[in-house]
Structure 1
Amino acid sequence: MPQSDDDWIAGLEARLRLDDPRFAHGFGRGRPRRPREYRRGRAWLAMTLALSAVVVGAVLPHGLLLAAGLVAAACAVNLFDTSRRRRLRLPRS
Structure 2
Amino acid sequence: MTRRGDETLNDLDERMRMSDPRFARGLDAGRPCPPREYRRGPDWALLAGAVALLTAGLVLPQGLMLAAGLVLAGIAAQFLTAPRRRAGRRARPH
| TM-score band w.r.t. shorter chain | 0.7 to 0.9
Distance in 2, matches of 1:89 and 1:70, equals 32
Unaligned runs of 5+ in 1: none
1:66 matched residue in structure 2: 66
Deviations 1:26-60 (CA, angstroms, capped at 9, x unpaired): 11111111111111111111100001111111122
Following TM superposition, by how much is the alpha carbon of 1:77 offset from its aligned partner in structure 2, in angstroms? 2.2
1:56 matched residue in structure 2: 56
1:46 matched residue in structure 2: 46
Identity across matched positions, percent: 44
Unaligned runs of 5+ in 2: none
Following TM superposition, by how much is the alpha carbon of 1:81 offset from its aligned partner in structure 2, in angstroms? 4.5
Following TM superposition, by how much is the alpha carbon of 1:82 offset from its aligned partner in structure 2, in angstroms? 5.7
1:21 matched residue in structure 2: 21
TM-align CA RMSD: 2.0
Deviations 1:58-85 (CA, angstroms, capped at 9, x unpaired): 1222111000111111222233256344
Distance in 2, matches of 1:19 and 1:82, equals 20
TM-score (norm 1): 0.81
Letter in 2 for 1:18: M
CA spacing shift, 1:36–1:13, aligned 2, 3 Å = same
**Aligned runs of 1:76-91 on 2, under 5 Å?**
76-81=76-81, 83-86=83-86, 89-90=88-89
Distance in 2, matches of 1:76 and 1:17, equals 28
Q: What is the aligned length? A: 88
Distance in 2, matches of 1:43 and 1:32, equals 21
1:75 matched residue in structure 2: 75
Letter in 2 for 1:68: A
